[in-house]
Amino acid sequence: MNRNKNAFTNGIRDGIPIALGYFAVAFSLGIVAKKAGLNPFQGFLSSLLNHASAGEYAEFTVIMANAPYIEMVFVILVTNIRYLLMSCALSQRFDPDTSNMHRLLVGFGITDEIFGISIGRSGALNPYYNYGAMAVALPGWSMGTAMGIVAGSVLPASVVSALSVALYGMFIAIIIPASRTNKVVGGVVIISFLVSFIVSKIPLFGRLSDSMKISILTVLIAGAAAALFPVKDDDDDTLTDSGLQ
């Protein structure tokens, strides 16, 4: 019992910096949610159930496009599928006697940052450590989105427009370091920009929403890159350092 309590306390301690960072990012995401027509409660619930900036941004884009639910499922699956791999990797760090319920709950709360602090711990992983990190990080993410929606309702239009750009800045901050470290990643990013621009100009794809175009291109380009430039075991550490995992 004391072991679980200590693990939970350590999780809260390590999760507080993550929660603060999440609040700032989710605040900008809330501005986008406001444009999609969500109220603060809906934004809070969305972030509580979907713990990814890219996934939620895709979700709000689909909502703004009035796209069908099946498209939302596909888009969010593509943008969040990496968490399935993270959950599988983290599950192997648990004691063999850890119940499936604990594994499922920990998998539900996996984010890039929570995965990072969890996988870095030595020895068998106690699920209560993840619960502690989740207990502060996920509410911070959800509250940030709700507060962003509130701010979008009261701030001047010029300020709201400026804040909405912050989310794009975050995405750029993610891809630039990885692109500079790994030439393959840099090439894939450039090709993605070019192909996206070309597809946007082809009338044949005019009936597809922007989110569906992005999702399809993501699967095709990422799949081609994985087939042509598979990651070697020797490169695992390099990829981790560059932020790709």
What pLDDT sits at residue 168?
62
How far is it, in rounded angstroms, from Cα 55 to Cα 75?
Answer: 8
What pLDDT sits at residue 91?
85
What pLDDT sits at residue 158?
65
Contacts made by residues 221-225, CB under 8 angstroms, sequence distance 24+:
221/188, 221/191, 221/192, 221/195, 222/188, 225/184, 225/188
Contact present, 29 and 145 (Cβ < 8 Å): yes
pLDDT tens digit at each of 245 positions of the chain: 788 899 999 999 999 988 888 888 888 888 888 888 999 999 999 999 988 887 888 888 888 888 888 888 888 888 888 788 788 888 888 888 889 999 999 999 988 888 888 887 888 889 999 999 999 999 999 999 999 899 887 777 666 666 656 556 656 765 777 778 888 888 888 888 898 888 888 887 777 766 567 767 777 887 888 788 876 654 444 444 444 33
Is the full-model pTM beyond 0.85? Answer: no
Tokens of 4: 């679980």
What pLDDT sits at residue 161?
62
Contact present, 37 and 132 (Cβ < 8 Å): no
The owner of tokens 């309702």 is: 153
The DSSP annotation for 105-136 comes to HHHHT--HHHHHHHHTS-SSBPHHHHHHHHHH
Cα 109 to its chain centre, rounded Å, is 11
How far is it, in rounded angstroms, from Cα 179 to Cα 188?
Answer: 9
Radius of gyration of the chain (CA): 19
Neighbours of 118 (CB within 10 A): 23
